[in-house]
Each structure stands twice: as C-alpha cells, then as structure tokens.
Amino acid sequence: MRLVGDIGGTNARFAIAEPGAQPFNARKLPVAHYPGLVEAVEDYVSGVPTLEEAVLAVAGPILGDQVAFSNSPWRFSIDDVRQRLGLSRLIVINDLVAHALSVAALQPAEIGSLKSGTRDAGRPALVIGPGTGLGVAFLLNNAGKLVGIPSEAGHAAFAPIDRVQAEILTHLQSQYGHVPVERLLSGPGLLAIATTLAKLNGQTIDVHDPRDVSARAAAGSCPICSEAIGIFSSILGSTAGNLALTLLTGGGVFITGGLCRGLRPLLDVTNLIQAFVAKGRLQSYLEDIPIDQILRPHAALLGAAMYVEPGRSS
C-alpha cells in the first residue's frame, strides 16, 4: 500500500492506494494548522496500518533533496521526512505532474469538454491548473509510457493581450515590480483582477476572497466581478495558447484544479477560446487542439497512485 499526497499552498490532501489503483480514505488538512509536512502526515496516518512507501505531489519545483513550496511556508528534506516517517521509499513529484498522470485513468464523466478538436496521442499534452498559484505541466507519450514533465511557467512574466489587461498589469507593476502570470491566473489573481478593475474605474468593491468575486458574479449583483471572471477566462485561454505553442501540444489541453471547477458555470468559454487561438499565423494549428477540463476532485491523488518510478515496471 502507498501513501499518496497532494500538498498545495492552502491544503494538504492524503489518501491510501495500491500503486496503479484508485486511492481511498482521502482526507484534507489545512496547511496552516501544522508546523510542517511530517506533522500533517502523522496526523493522517494515525490508526492506518504501517506504510512502506509514499508518493507526494507538491506545489513547487523538485530540484534536489530540499523542497520549498512556491506558496507555503513549509520546507523539508526528502530524506529526513522519509526517515522520520519510517518509509522505505519516499518519492516527491510536482503536483501538476500528478494531475497530468491522472489523465489516462479518468472516467469519461470526470472530463468535461470546453473546446472540440482532434487529439494526437503522439504529441505532448498541456495540463494547466490555477489555484493558490498557477501550476503547469506537460504529458509526454514515451514509447507508450506516459511521462509527466514539470515546469514553473506560472512564474513567467504576464503578457497582456488588450488595453484593459495592460492597464491592470501597469497597476500591479507599481505594487510588485515583476508580475508573473500567476499574479492574475490564480485564486488570489481573480481577486486582484476584480479589485484592480474597481480602482481603475474609480470604485471600491467589498470583496476579500476569490469566492466573494464568484458569488457576486453568480448572483448578478456586481458587474465588476462578472467582468473580472471574463478577463480571468481570457488570460487562462491566452496563457494556455502560449504554452501549447511552446511544446506543440497536439495531445490536447487539460484545465485542472478546484478553482476552475468552482468557476465552471461562470467561465467565459467564448473569451477563453478566442484568446487561446488568437496567435496570428499559428491560429489554424491551435484551432484543432481540444481543451478539456478535469472535473474529478483531487485528481493529483489519483496521479500519485498512477506514478511509476523511472526504471521500475510497476
């Protein structure tokens, strides 16, 4: 049996799984309630039979033994955690790689189409997930074996595609200097878009959480919140289009994560698709790429269960 985990900036989710099988006993723990990863794992596994291995998906780059999260104060040594938890093997992968690895195991009802197209199984696929930050990974078919390739594309500079987005960028640059795309394409980013729009229009809006923005847009009580979701949708499409061109992801685009699942009824799909394909001479290439949304909650836990270490057959 394998402990699987999805460790984000806000929540840590854990489950148990046989490698390659569906995870079970999933539980969500708030990151802020624990001083570190070990304490959170120990809370989850109390009362669980002894586990010998774990695959943990984390929101940040894996560049060696020391792991630092992009949007969380947690820091840890992989070897130290392995020893403290008494594991024979501890594998740490990027969280969007885990989302990517879940794709092949998803049921039809767990995927929703946003844009039709023709999927080329021999080409890479893009997986993009706005959340506390912005996660991006690619999925490659290597001689029949699916391999997840991590990236930190969420920290690349935001590129506006119209006047309003340029004005928002200028405003955010005055606060932060460098404005990565995740400054707008994330939960905090949706809030930033709404509050910045209000300031640019000489208004103030009483929103303090991304959920406030979506709730007011859903109720039809705040035109600025509705416009903010339209802009968010456009930025999502444009960013996905840029990344699709970067690796020619004819295998398709998958949008994942709880933020976009929650926004699904409100997403401006027309804005998203128009921004995705609006890439000049390469528009015809992008028009044939499908865009799907992963609807399964906690898909990273499934991906961590699917993970096969390089050089191992199972």
CA distance 110 to 284: 28
Handedness of CA 101, 102, 108, 110 (dihedral sign): negative
Domains and CATH numbers, the chain: 2-100+299-306 (3.30.420.40), 107-295 (3.40.367.20)
- Exposed e or buried b per residue across 60-95, where buried means at least 16 C-beta atoms within 10 angstroms of its C-beta: bebeeeebebbbbebebebeebbebbebeebbbbbb
What pLDDT, on the 0 to 100 scale, is given for residue 144?
75
Alpha carbon distances (Å) from 188 to 22, 53, 159, 212, 259? 31, 34, 18, 11, 10
How do the pLDDT tens digits run along the chain, 314 residues long? 899 999 988 899 999 998 889 999 999 999 999 999 999 999 999 877 678 899 999 988 899 999 987 777 889 999 999 999 999 999 999 999 999 999 999 999 999 999 999 999 899 999 999 998 999 999 998 877 889 999 999 999 999 999 999 999 999 999 999 999 999 999 999 999 999 999 999 998 999 999 999 999 999 999 999 999 999 999 999 999 999 999 999 999 999 999 999 999 999 999 999 999 999 999 999 999 999 999 999 999 999 999 987 655 54
pTM score: 0.92
Alpha carbon distances (Å) from 278 to 86, 242, 274, 287? 52, 10, 6, 9
Helices 163-176 and 223-247, interaxial angle, to 10°? 90
- Exposed e or buried b per residue across 280-300, where buried means at least 16 C-beta atoms within 10 angstroms of its C-beta: eeeeeebeebbbbbbbbebbb
- Residues ≥6 apart with Cβ < 8 Å to 260: 129, 130, 236, 267, 293
What pLDDT, on the 0 to 100 scale, is given for residue 145?
82
Direct distance between the N- and C-terminal alpha carbons of the chain, in angstroms, rounded to an integer: 13
Alpha carbon distances (Å) from 256 to 48, 280, 292? 29, 27, 9
What pLDDT, on the 0 to 100 scale, is given for residue 114?
98
CA distance 76 to 41: 13
What pLDDT, on the 0 to 100 scale, is given for residue 282?
97
